[in-house]
Structure 1
Amino acid sequence: MPAIAQAQEIWPSRPIRLLVGFPPGAAADLTARLAAPLISDRLGQTIIVENRPGAGSSLAAEVVARAAPDGYTLFLASAANVTGQLMQPSPGVDLRRDFAAIATLTELPNILVVHPSLGVHSVAELIAYAKARSDQVFYGSTGIGTVPHLSGQLFAQLAGANLVHVPYPGSAQAMTDLVSGRVQMMFAPASTARPQMEAGKVVALATSGAHRTELAPGLPTVAESGLGGFDTSIWFGLVAPVRTPSSFIDRLAAATAAATDSAGLRARCQDQGMDVLSSDPVQFAALIQREFEKWAEVVRTIGSGTR
């Protein structure tokens, strides 16, 4: 016991690994690399970002879940871990059971964009358009089970419309087909949507988050536009293996809170189309639970045959 107590007093005494389940350049990777130096400064130890892409970031999650709960291995969790877990019949790890929430870092809002040929300029007009053309409105996504895919499912469910899902390998490919008119709408990451919005090649109707994005403050949310409760931003946050000492979690949370309060981080995130999202461990754990409850219902509609 004295040795354990001494180890906790001097933590962290060596570099900390932060595993990211997506490749370099992805929004998750950018979040980790922008925030890590600021958190490191407040802990007095380097945080090394390590990319372990694959299986929607579940491979990296499994590595961290099995790591020693000593505060030296962290994972950048995201909404993708919730939807990915729900889409798998036997997931290898459980985000709620196998991890301790630390704090959120950023969120990447999706922008609901449509092809100009639809002639719609609001969510209400899009709903009316889709209801009048059942199974004739195609929406693109970044793949089956991804947040953009399930965002379309949730939109259809709340709007009472039938939409046809068209999955793509990534947002760039989906946006290419939206611009060409092969699909009519999509929930696109803000960083992907912005250039096409500015060029007038797509029409932006709303942002998918619970609040307006700093990237386009004049754009209403989908919830404000009539579909109450709609919130499908892609969030990113730090978690540690379950049973990590609470004193470590508290220090990490405090350091993360100081980082997200930095004006410099907010400005750099906004340049990348992301908003800073701050929370403490309790609030982050509650967010994860709400996300499971929300997406579980959407996944059930897919299982019952709803498109």
Structure 2
Amino acid sequence: MRRIWAVVLACFSLTSYAQDSNYPVKPIKLLVGYAPGGATDIVARSIAIKMQETLGQPIIVENRAGASSNIASEFVARSAPDGYTLLLGTIANATNMTAYKNMSYDTMRDFVHITQFMTAPSVLTLHPSVPAKNLREFIAVAKQNPGKFAFSSSGNGGSPHLAGELLKMRANIDLIHVPYKGAAPAIADLLGGQVQMSFQTALSAIPHLKSGKLNVIAVASKKRMGTMPNVPTMAEAGLPDFEVSSWNGLFAPAKTPPHIVAALYNAATKALQTQDIKDKMEVQGAEPVGNSPDEFRAFVKTEIDKWEQVIVKSGAKME
């Protein structure tokens, strides 16, 4: 599929001169729906710097935090489809479609999905007080003690919360969800033993794994992570088809012309292939993706459908 898209996009690039040979002719705005300094913001700024080297115009990252990125998403969805206002879409653009009522935009209808930047698999961590060394043992002890174990999350409706709900559904166990206002307090109480488990990013978990303060028993991805090669995937540990990752990628308003999409796709995938970006993502426990627009669109649709089932069945609500 990528090779086909490469040919198609190359054709668009050749014809772009007849349509707008100078794109871009002014700075491009990239909206991020979260506060400055977080992992999503860091990815946006790192890739924006590389993309502007290819495009020849500055890419200005603008943070419009709030409503689980809905504020930024709505702004971009309503912007002119001229390639000058873009969105760093995230997993929230999939979960929000079900978790929020009366949405003012539609993730599939109102955007062109250009390419996925990265994926950061969630890892299942346990406090050492839990009498389990692996996933099978944890599921067994949880079934023996329904409602005894609690899992922390960074807030209602986020990926750590939904990962816990998915585990409850797939393993048929009764766990108590304890939401916090942010990842830091959620991890602090896990370290303190106030809660017994949590899904975290590898970046958050690795320091505590090395110190022995937490046990990491599984990775919610298709393959093991290079940063923790001894930790099995959820499938290897006994739960097949269990994948939970934080992800983000480049969105543009619907009806953005194909030659502009081609230019943005080319700049983004070129950036993702640089060693600098690969190194920065590895430090964060993430991997670059760089799939085609069709592949990215299909992925987003799959994420919307998957999390719809979890949200509806669990009754998860957004803050």
TM range (shorter): over 0.9
Query: Following the alignment from structure 1 to structure 2, what is the Cα–Cα distance between the partners of residues 226 and 81?
Result: 29
- Aligned-pair CA distance for 1:241: 0.3
Equivalent residues in 2 for 1:85-96 (5 A)? 85-96=97-108
- Aligned-pair CA distance for 1:263: 1.7
Structure 2 residue aligned with 1:135: 147
Structure 2: tracts of 5 or more residues without a match: 1-15
Query: Following the alignment from structure 1 to structure 2, what is the Cα–Cα distance between the partners of residues 36 and 60?
Result: 17
For residue 65 of structure 1, the aligned residue among 63, 77, 84 is: 77
**Are 2:24 and 1:24 equivalent residues in the alignment?**
no
Query: Following the alignment from structure 2 to structure 1, what is the Cα–Cα distance between the partners of residues 112 and 253?
Result: 6
Structure 1: tracts of 5 or more residues without a match: none
- Aligned-pair CA distance for 1:7: 5.7
- Aligned-pair CA distance for 1:288: 0.3
**Are 2:102 and 1:83 equivalent residues in the alignment?**
no
**Are 2:170 and 1:158 equivalent residues in the alignment?**
yes
Structure 2 residue aligned with 1:175: 187
Residue identity over aligned pairs, in percent, reads 39
- Aligned-pair CA distance for 1:223: 2.2
Quick check: 1:110–1:189 contact (8 Å CA) kept in 2? yes
Structure 2 residue aligned with 1:229: 241
Query: Following the alignment from structure 2 to structure 1, what is the Cα–Cα distance between the partners of residues 107 and 139?
Result: 34
Deviates more, 1:210-219 or 1:70-79: 210-219
For residue 161 of structure 2, the aligned residue among 134, 149, 159 is: 149
Equivalent residues in 2 for 1:1-307 (5 A)? 8-303=20-315
- TM-score of the superposed pair, with normalisation by structure 1: 0.94
Quick check: 1:214–1:275 contact (8 Å CA) kept in 2? no
Change over 3 Å in CA distance of 1:114–1:304 after alignment to 2: closer
Query: Following the alignment from structure 1 to structure 2, what is the Cα–Cα distance between the partners of residues 6 and 238?
Result: 25
Query: Following the alignment from structure 2 to structure 1, what is the Cα–Cα distance between the partners of residues 225 and 72?
Result: 29
- Aligned-pair CA distance for 1:6: 5.8
Aligned-partner residue type, residue 127 of structure 1: I
Aligned-partner residue type, residue 37 of structure 2: G
Quick check: 2:156–2:316 contact (8 Å CA) kept in 1? no
1:86-140 per-residue CA deviation (whole Å, 9 max, x = no partner) reads 1012112111111000001112222110000112121111111111111111000
Q: Calculate the aligned-residue CA RMSD, in Å.
A: 1.7
1:180-210 per-residue CA deviation (whole Å, 9 max, x = no partner) reads 1110100012222122112111100111223
Quick check: 1:80–1:234 contact (8 Å CA) kept in 2? no
Change over 3 Å in CA distance of 1:253–1:5 after alignment to 2: closer
Query: Following the alignment from structure 2 to structure 1, what is the Cα–Cα distance between the partners of residues 256 and 316?
Result: 39
Quick check: 2:160–2:198 contact (8 Å CA) kept in 1? yes
Deviates more, 1:267-276 or 1:114-123: 267-276
Aligned-partner residue type, residue 12 of structure 1: P
Query: Following the alignment from structure 1 to structure 2, what is the Cα–Cα distance between the partners of residues 132 and 291?
Result: 32
- TM-score of the superposed pair, with normalisation by structure 2: 0.91
Aligned-partner residue type, residue 173 of structure 2: A
Query: Following the alignment from structure 2 to structure 1, what is the Cα–Cα distance between the partners of residues 49 and 123?
Result: 29
- Aligned-pair CA distance for 1:9: 2.2
Deviates more, 1:211-220 or 1:13-22: 211-220
- Aligned-pair CA distance for 1:218: 2.5
SS of match in other structure, 2:70? helix
1:138-193 per-residue CA deviation (whole Å, 9 max, x = no partner) reads 00011111111000011111111111111011111111111111101000122221
SS of match in other structure, 2:251? strand
Deviates more, 1:189-198 or 1:134-143: 189-198
